Amino acid sequence: MDYSSDNVLVQMFEWLTAESSWTGTGSIPQRILEHLGYTALAVGIAALIAVPLGLYIGHTGRGRVVVVSGAGILRALPTLGLVFLFVLLAGIGLMPPIWALVLLAIPPLLAGVYAGISSVDRTVVDAARAMGMTELQILFRVELPNGFKVLFGGFRAAVLQVLATVSVVAFISLGGLGVYLIEGTQLRDNGRLFGGALLIALLALAVDLVLAAVQRLALSPGLRSRTRKPANHRRRQPSPAGLAEGTTA
């Protein structure tokens, strides 16, 4: 692409606004959809594995040490190395790199679910049990909604991590926004290279904003940190003692 200036920022702007970038095969919208699709696929598969495991460990406290240290090991694995390893072992195709991303997403998801469930006040769980809830009812009606904030935090971390890393699948010609980074490097097209990088950053930001909004809507009003008492029901003056308790009897 021909640019009007040598300035990288100008080139980036021109690439991002060029009509050719937004139409045809390999257009920005197509790459964004690919990028989001791979992210969703990887996080989805990781969730199928990590969520039940995290719920079980969080609720029972069993197997905590094994799983937490296992997740630590997974975190230490280099993703790009894994992608090529899986490709070498399983051949070119969609799933080998996805499995590498799944391994990347499992630790934050697992830690979030486990920490969320076990963060719920034990006296609340004890009360729920004493009222006659079964263990599954306790898990889904008490621990899950009350641990949701921490749990969803782990989900957001996993999504962002995968979203940032999914660019590597471009190395094996699967598309996604990573394509612009590779093409930009190969073609010495700085507008494309930096434009692609900016798109990845903006996409991550946008996705996290959406998830933050979802979290806010899904969280019970009783759990929001700034739960305010209605103004006309504020705690009254301390004297006369006891009257503020609202006895009507």
Partner 1 sequence: MSIPDATEARQDSAEPMIRFRGVTKSYGDTESAAVENLSLDIARGAITVFVGPSGCGKTTSLRMINRMVEPTSGTIHVDGKDAAGIAPSALRRSMGYVMQSSGLLPHRSVLDNIATVPRLNGVPRKQARERAAELLDVVGLDPAMGKRYPAQLSGGQQQRVGVARALAADPPVLLMDEPFSAVDPVVRSELQQELLRLQRDLAKTIVFVTHDIDEATILGDKVAVFAVGGRLAQYDSPEGILRAPVDDFVAGFVGRDRGFRHLGFQPGAGVPVHPVQTLDPAELADPAVPVQGGWALAVDDGGRPLGWVPASSRETVTSPGQLVPGGSLHRRGESLRSALDAALSSPSGLGVVVDDNGAAVGIVRAGEIFELIEAARLRRGKALHGSAV
Tell me which residues touch partner 1 (CB under 8 A).
Answer: 121, 123-124, 126-134, 137, 142, 145-146, 220-223, 227, 229, 233, 235, 241-242, 244-249
Whether the CB-CB separation of 75 and 65 falls below 8 Å is answered with no
Least Å from the CB of residue 26 to partner 1 = 47
C-alpha triplet 101, 105, 110: angle, nearest 5°: 150
Q: Of the two residues 9 and 121, which places its CB atom closer to partner 1 in the complex?
A: 121
Least Å from the CB of residue 115 to partner 1 = 17
In terms of DSSP H, where are the helices of the chain? Answer: 8-17, 19-22, 28-60, 64-76, 79-90, 95-118, 122-130, 135-137, 144-146, 148-165, 178-186, 190-218
CA atoms within 13 Å, Cβ hemisphere of 119: 17
Q: Of the two residues 90 and 223, which places its CB atom closer to partner 1 in the complex?
A: 223
Q: Of the two residues 173 and 247, which places its CB atom closer to partner 1 in the complex?
A: 247
Q: Of the two residues 31 and 149, which places its CB atom closer to partner 1 in the complex?
A: 149
- In three-state secondary structure terms, 8 is helix
DSSP state of 245: G
Whether the CB-CB separation of 160 and 207 falls below 8 Å is answered with yes
Least Å from the CB of residue 34 to partner 1 = 38
Report the distance separating Cα 189 and Cα 183, nearest Å.
8
Q: Of the two residues 188 and 228, which places its CB atom closer to partner 1 in the complex?
A: 228
Least Å from the CB of residue 114 to partner 1 = 19
Tokens of 230: 């209605």
Least Å from the CB of residue 240 to partner 1 = 10
